[in-house]
Structure 1
Amino acid sequence: PLRQTLHAAERVASGDLTLSLQVQRRDELGQLQASMQRMTQGLRELISGIGDGVTQIASAAEELSAVTEQTSAGVNNQKVETDQVATAMNQMTTTVHEVARNAEQASEAALMADQQAREGDRVVGEAVAQIERLAGEVVNSSEAMNQLKAESDKIGSVLDVIKSVAQQTNLLALNAAIEA
């Protein structure tokens, strides 16, 4: 279970968030595995939220581009109408109104794009903060796993001593039996 948990932590640290730990233990290692599972899920949700924000920004940029193209077309129409001012005064007036409407739409779209860009910046800032917090939790988890490994090594050493004493006791019992 410890190796499995270490492997999972290494995969998350390398950017693989598809891993799903099966938590079956109720001890400290099980709690660590459950925390890692929650952390991985949180990262998945965070990255999904960032993706949604980027999609919104891209959509706003496309809308701004379309409005800009409309405005450009209106300006070209206005130039043509100005060249034909003697024969097309009514057309020029209509075109000027259309250009004004398109410019207003462009201004509104620019304001909306600016707001969405600020929102995207805020989302990215929150994402960075959460990633930094999660990175801290990964470091804490790694330290806890290292401490757990050190404690396991100590227990292994104690078991080796007990095994050695048991072997010596068996030899002494055998010697006593032979002498008897």
Structure 2
Amino acid sequence: MMFRRKTVDLETRVALATFRSSPDAVLLLKGGAFVECNAAAEAVYGQPRAAILGKNPVIFSAPTQIDGRPTIEHVGERVQQAIRERFARFEWLNMRHGEIVRMLVTLVPLPDEGDDAVLVLTQDLTATGQVVDALTSALAKLAEGDLGVQLDTAFSIEFEPLRTSFNAAVARMSTSIGSVVEVGGALHSGCRDIRQASDDLSSRTERQAASLEETAAAMQEVTHTVRESADMASRTERIVAEAHRDAQGSTTIVADATQAMAGIERASHEIGEIISVIDGIAFQTNLLALNAGVEAARAGEAGKGFAVVASEVRALAQRSADAAKDVKSRITASTQQVDRGVALVSNTGDALGRIVRQMDQISALIGEITTAARHQAETLGQINIAVGEMDGMTQQNAAMVEQTTAAVRSLSDQAERLSTAVQAFRTDPHVGGSVVRFRAARASAAGR
């Protein structure tokens, strides 16, 4: 056999070095049984060399392989595959000390040793399998959202950096997701508060907009009323001015009437004096008529006609005296009425004077009221414009608040989705976290 040749060619040296020093099992399968093996095969198979040689590989294999088929169906197929394709490599399940062990088997045909001779290279995948199983289990838990998973059992020296890197990556991811969870929770809470505040602000803004709109309408009505009041004050001012002019004219008329009454009073006094003169003349005439009657009586028959005349004259003088007395009494009564009228006209003049002065004050006050009303109308007009602008801005603010509320609601929904999404991760290794050990990996392999 090739392992016993004494030639020193390169192929032989390489084969011998591999056979003697490889940590992997090297066996020669021929006629369905192992006919040669190296020292490493004893460790890989867990059997002494004598127990290996002459045995079929089925003896050292698990009852079934990874695909679930019986092992005995695989052996011949694998050998034929290696002969047909010049090599075959596959994963194999062996038994060692009652436990299933994963192996990586490579079959290389050796036609120089026989048509069915194949070189069997078997690599123990226990350490690798443990690493793969541990990583598979850990990654499965990681896929389920368990960020507390850790590989706490040390790997072999060549795989230890992988375990360290995995634990560091998961820890970093857990820290990051924990921060995301915390920030997401804070964001969700903040968005909820902002949403509530935005809803309240929207409601208050709508009420404020409605109130401001009503205020604007009321201000328009007040402005219209004040303008009408200003117009009415202007008309009142004109009427008062006309009344003032009429009162001033009435004062002049009353003054003229007072002067006329004074003239009438003076004329009455003059008439009284004339009546006194007439009364004196009547008295003298009566006296003369009396004297004439006395003289006619002395004359007798010659003086009868003169006595008649004297009697008539005395009667006329008596009537004149009576008429003068009656006229005097009437003139006296008229003078009293004229005096009373003069007093009344004088009082009327004083009253009209006071009315004129009061009308001056009223006119001044009405002028001030008119000026103030105009100023109020102008001020209210400016206020009305300002309120209208405030109403427009409030309406715009209300629309912006509605948009902000919609954006906050959308943000709140997104924050809730974020919070729901990150809740799928468990970041605390002490609460729901998993520790993956090789023992679990071996139990998983045994269950296959």
TM-score category of the 2 structures, normalised to the smaller one: 0.5 to 0.7
Aligned partner of 1:97 among 305, 312, 334: 312
User: Could you report, residue by residue, the CA deviation over 1:69-95 in whole angstroms, capped at 9, with x for unpaired residues?
Assistant: 143133134225525633254223431
Closer/same/farther in 2, CA of residues 28 and 65 from structure 1, 3 Å limit: same
How far apart, CA to CA, are the structure 1 residues paired with 2:299 and 2:366? 95
One-letter amino acid of the structure 2 residue matched with residue 130 of structure 1? V
Closer/same/farther in 2, CA of residues 98 and 140 from structure 1, 3 Å limit: same
How far apart, CA to CA, are the structure 1 residues paired with 2:360 and 2:272? 46
How far apart, CA to CA, are the structure 2 residues paired with 1:123 and 1:70? 27
How far apart, CA to CA, are the structure 1 residues paired with 2:275 and 2:348? 35
The aligned length equals 132
How far apart, CA to CA, are the structure 2 residues paired with 1:78 and 1:146? 72
Closer/same/farther in 2, CA of residues 31 and 86 from structure 1, 3 Å limit: closer
One-letter amino acid of the structure 1 residue matched with residue 294 of structure 2? T
User: Could you report, residue by residue, the CA deviation over 1:101-138 in whole angstroms, capped at 9, with x for unpaired residues?
Assistant: 21111111211121122022112212212321331231
Which structure shows the higher helix fraction? 1
How far apart, CA to CA, are the structure 1 residues paired with 2:265 and 2:321? 22
Residue in 1 that maps onto 2:360: 145
User: Could you report, residue by residue, the CA deviation over 1:131-166 in whole angstroms, capped at 9, with x for unpaired residues?
Assistant: 2133123123223434655787998xxxxxxxxxxx
Check whether the contact 2:286–2:318 (CA below 8 A) recurs between aligned residues: no
Closer/same/farther in 2, CA of residues 94 and 36 from structure 1, 3 Å limit: same
Check whether the contact 1:56–1:116 (CA below 8 A) recurs between aligned residues: yes
Residue in 1 that maps onto 2:322: 107
Closer/same/farther in 2, CA of residues 103 and 77 from structure 1, 3 Å limit: closer
Aligned partner of 2:274 among 62, 70, 88: 62
Deviation of 1:56 after TM superposition, in Å, equals: 4.4
How far apart, CA to CA, are the structure 2 residues paired with 1:123 and 1:72? 31
Compute the RMSD of aligned alpha carbons: 3.4
Secondary structure of the structure 2 residue equivalent to 1:73: helix
How far apart, CA to CA, are the structure 2 residues paired with 1:152 and 1:61? 55
Check whether the contact 2:275–2:327 (CA below 8 A) recurs between aligned residues: no
Task: For CA contacts below 8 A with separation 6 or more, give which structure has more relative contact order.
Answer: 1
Check whether the contact 1:74–1:98 (CA below 8 A) recurs between aligned residues: yes
How far apart, CA to CA, are the structure 1 residues paired with 2:317 and 2:285? 10
How far apart, CA to CA, are the structure 1 residues paired with 2:247 and 2:267? 30
How far apart, CA to CA, are the structure 2 residues paired with 1:81 and 1:87? 10
Note the residue ranges of structure 1 that are not aligned, 5 or more in a row. Answer: 1-24, 156-180
How far apart, CA to CA, are the structure 2 residues paired with 1:131 and 1:138? 10
One-letter amino acid of the structure 2 residue matched with residue 39 of structure 1? T
Residue in 2 that maps onto 1:44: 256
| 1:116 maps to 2:331 | yes
How far apart, CA to CA, are the structure 2 residues paired with 1:63 and 1:45? 26
User: Could you report, residue by residue, the CA deviation over 1:41-91 in whole angstroms, capped at 9, with x for unpaired residues?
Assistant: 133134314423542452354144124214313313422552563325422
Residue in 2 that maps onto 1:4: none
Aligned partner of 2:291 among 79, 94, 97: 79
Closer/same/farther in 2, CA of residues 133 and 141 from structure 1, 3 Å limit: same
Check whether the contact 1:64–1:106 (CA below 8 A) recurs between aligned residues: no
One-letter amino acid of the structure 1 residue matched with residue 307 of structure 2? M
Which structure shows the higher strand fraction? 2
One-letter amino acid of the structure 1 residue matched with residue 319 of structure 2? E
Check whether the contact 1:54–1:120 (CA below 8 A) recurs between aligned residues: no
One-letter amino acid of the structure 2 residue matched with residue 55 of structure 1? A
- Deviating above 4 A after TM superposition, structure 1's stretches of 4 or more consecutive aligned residues are 146-155
How far apart, CA to CA, are the structure 2 residues paired with 1:33 and 1:106? 52
How far apart, CA to CA, are the structure 2 residues paired with 1:81 and 1:105? 18
Aligned partner of 2:342 among 119, 127, 133: 127
Q: What is the TM-score with the length of structure 1 in the denominator?
A: 0.56
Closer/same/farther in 2, CA of residues 86 and 41 from structure 1, 3 Å limit: closer
Percent of pairs with identical residues: 5
Check whether the contact 1:53–1:120 (CA below 8 A) recurs between aligned residues: yes
Closer/same/farther in 2, CA of residues 105 and 80 from structure 1, 3 Å limit: closer
One-letter amino acid of the structure 1 residue matched with residue 321 of structure 2? A
One-letter amino acid of the structure 2 residue matched with residue 86 of structure 1? R
Closer/same/farther in 2, CA of residues 63 and 151 from structure 1, 3 Å limit: closer
